[in-house]
């Protein structure tokens, strides 16, 4: 690996030198999905000059793409790894000494630092996961739901899983945090969301927001087409008023346009988790802002976190359905043990 990195660094220097841009690779970072080379150039060198050579650099490195990015005072050249490594959720969780309440683990950022999303923050509240088929939307949602259950007790956090396909969250059906088994039928989904609206209104009247309820929805656009106005009304109300009542939404969709998911729903998701898309136009729609570079993501767990116009690249943590089911059963066994059940207090629960 070291010899390959040294060869690639020399190739980058040669390409830039051939275009009269003297430079030197002075360091770098290897992440599960990318290799980032830190570049030192002489005073007066324009970043646009190097950006125009990105295709030539990619060609010399036999890489599918190359990204020139400024990170504070450093200039970096980033290429995707030929064989991306997976970020294992369970292993990553074991590395963390402390996880804040209601903060799902997303994965690791470009420096390999674990990345969490505080859903209770006023700037967050709800999150929309976007990307093409195969980009890893469902896997990321499953990761977030399981990490929440692993780091939050049942009396403080409850989960409601909406799964129109019937297989996205089936492996999590043993979690003790579930308000009910994963809901798959449209009529049942409408019933559950209507109940959650009434629970939200009850909390508003009482000034309560606990336990927190995390609502995960797969295939949002398809669900809205099937559920019609009644379901859209429920989701709009929950996304508009849910945060103060302790109700938070995480939804997956391919194309979050107002025509597909409704303008009010779209406006109430300040955080976008964007996977690979097909074009700059799709990237702008998915991220809500232009210039994110989501069209250059390689898929297989490569994502962007977009918040307030700023984007952060990260590699999503992955847990297989088999591992997720095993961890869910382990959590259920712990929750049902007599020692853990004593003194837990009342837990909001609704089972059909």
* Segment 189-228, tens digit of pLDDT: 999 999 999 999 999 999 999 999 999 999 999 999 999 8
Query: Does residue 163 register a pLDDT over 60?
Result: yes
Condensed to tens digits (0 to 9), the pLDDT of residues 35-51 reads 999 999 888 888 899 99
Q: Which domain holds residue 24?
A: 2-80
**Strand pairing class (310-318; 87-88):** parallel
Whether residue 172 sits in one domain with residue 55:
no
The CATH number assigned to the domain holding 180 equals 3.40.50.300
Gap between the terminal Cα atoms of the chain: 55
| Residue 73: pLDDT over 80 | no
C-alpha distances in Å from residue 205, one per residue of 179, 242, 290, 340: 22, 13, 41, 32
Kindly report the CATH number assigned to the domain that includes residue 6.
3.30.980.40
Residues 38 and 147 in one domain: no
Is 21 in the same domain as 150?
no
- Report the range of poorest mean pLDDT among 153-157, 179-183, 303-307, 341-345: 341-345
- Number of Cβ within a 10 Å radius of residue 236: 17
Rounded Cα–Cα distance for residues 321 and 173 (Å): 11
- Per-residue pLDDT of 311-338, as tens digits, reads 999 999 999 999 999 999 999 998 776 5
Answer whether residue 347 is part of any domain. no
Between β-strands 127-130 and 271-274, what pairing exists: parallel, antiparallel or unpaired?
parallel
DSSP string for 227-288 = HHHHHHHHHHHHHHHTGGGTEEEEEEES---HHHH-HHHHHT--EEEE---SSHHHHHHHHS
Which one of 35, 59, 80 terminates a domain? 80
User: Do 119 and 49 share a structural domain?
Assistant: no
What are 291's strand-pairing partners?
none
* Residues 149 and 133 sit within 8 Å (Cβ to Cβ): no
Among 80, 99, 118, the domain-final residue is 80
Q: List the beta bridge partners of residue 116.
A: 105
What average pLDDT does range 115-144 have in this prediction? 94
Same domain (yes/no): 107, 220 = yes
Same domain, 93 and 66: no
Q: Is residue 317 part of a domain?
A: yes
Residue 130 pairs with which residues in a beta bridge?
Answer: 253, 274
Average pLDDT in the 264-274 region? 92
Q: Let me know if residue 346 belongs to a domain.
A: no
Tokens of 38: 């830190």
How many other CB atoms are there within 10 angstroms of residue 252's CB atom? 27
Residue 323 within a domain: yes
Say which residue, 351 or 277, is predicted with more confidence.
277
Same domain, residue pair 64 and 6: yes
Q: How confident is the model at residue 263 (pLDDT cuts 50, 70, 90)?
A: confident
Q: Is the pLDDT of residue 344 over 90?
A: no
How would you list the strands of the sheet with 34-41, edge to edge? 23-30, 34-41, 74-80, 67-71
Do 66 and 212 belong to one domain? no
Confidence of residue 282 (pLDDT cuts 50, 70, 90): confident
Is residue 349 domain-resident? no
- Report DSSP state, residue 86: P
Q: Which pair of structure tokens corresponds to residue 337?
A: 């043990």
Summarize pLDDT for 237-256 with one digit per residue, the tens. Answer: 999 999 999 999 999 998 88
Please name every residue paired with 71 in a beta bridge, in sequence order, or none if there are none.
74
Shared domain for 257 and 199, answered yes or no, is yes
- Domain check: are 52 and 173 in the same one? no
Smallest CA-to-CA distance from 317 within 128, 143, 201 is with 143
Which of the residue ranges 165-169, 241-245, 248-252, 286-290 would you say has the lowest mean pLDDT?
A: 286-290
- Mean of all residue pLDDT scores within the chain: 90
Q: Could you tell me if 182 and 298 lie in one domain?
A: yes
Residue with tokens 């590395």: 95
Nearest C-alpha neighbor of 315 from the set 65, 77, 81: 81
Alpha carbon 271 to its chain centroid, in Å, reads 9
Residues 174 and 244 in one domain: yes
Alpha-helical (H) ranges within the chain are 2-18, 47-51, 54-61, 89-95, 137-151, 186-206, 220-241, 258-261, 263-267, 280-287, 321-336, 338-341
Q: Phi/psi at 328 (nearest 5 deg)?
A: -65, -40
Q: Tokens in use for 298?
A: 């390689």
What is the three-class DSSP state of 8?
A: helix
User: Of the given ranges (121-125, 299-303, 346-350), which has the lowest mean pLDDT?
Assistant: 346-350
Q: Which of 80, 111, 142 marks a domain boundary?
A: 80
Q: Tell me how many domains the chain contains.
A: 2
Q: How far apart are CA 30 and CA 37, in angstroms?
A: 9
């Amino acid at each position: 690996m070291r010899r390959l990195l040294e060869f690639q660094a020399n190739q980058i220097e040669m390409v830039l030198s051939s275009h009269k841009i003297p430079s030197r690779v002075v360091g770098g970072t290897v992440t599960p999905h990318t290799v980032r080379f830190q570049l030192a150039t002489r005073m007066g060198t324009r970043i646009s000059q190097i950006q125009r050579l990105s295709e030539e650099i990619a060609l010399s490195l036999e890489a599918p793409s190359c990204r020139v990015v400024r990170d504070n005072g450093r200039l970096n050249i980033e290429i995707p790894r030929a064989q991306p490594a997976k970020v294992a959720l369970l292993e990553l969780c074991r590395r963390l000494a402390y996880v804040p309440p209601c903060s799902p683990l997303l994965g690791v950022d470009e420096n390999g630092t674990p990345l969490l999303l505080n859903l209770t923050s006023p700037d967050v509240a709800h999150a929309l996961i976007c990307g093409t088929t195969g980009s890893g939307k469902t896997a990321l949602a499953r990761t977030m739901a399981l990490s929440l259950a692993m780091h939050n007790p049942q009396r403080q956090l409850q989960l409601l899983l909406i799964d129109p396909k019937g297989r996205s969250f089936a492996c999590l059906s043993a979690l003790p945090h579930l308000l009910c088994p994963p809901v798959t039928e449209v009529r049942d989904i409408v019933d559950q969301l209507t109940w959650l609206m009434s629970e939200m209104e009850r909390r508003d009247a009482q000034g309560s927001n606990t336990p927190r309820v995390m609502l995960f929805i797969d295939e949002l656009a398809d669900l809205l087409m099937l559920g019609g106005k009644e379901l859209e009304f429920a989701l709009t109300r929950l996304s508009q008023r849910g945060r103060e009542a302790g109700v938070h939404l995480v939804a997956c969709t391919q194309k979050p346009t107002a025509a597909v998911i409704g303008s009010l729903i779209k406006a109430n998701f300040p955080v976008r988790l964007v996977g690979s898309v097909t074009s700059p136009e799709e990237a702008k729609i998915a991220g809500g802002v232009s210039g994110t570079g989501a069209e250059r993501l390689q898929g297989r767990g490569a994502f962007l976190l977009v918040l307030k116009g700023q984007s952060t690249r990260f590699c999503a943590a992955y847990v297989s359905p088999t591992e997720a089911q095993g961890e869910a059963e382990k959590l259920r066994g712990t929750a049902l043990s007599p020692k853990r059940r004593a003194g837990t207090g009342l837990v909001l629960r609704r089972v059909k």
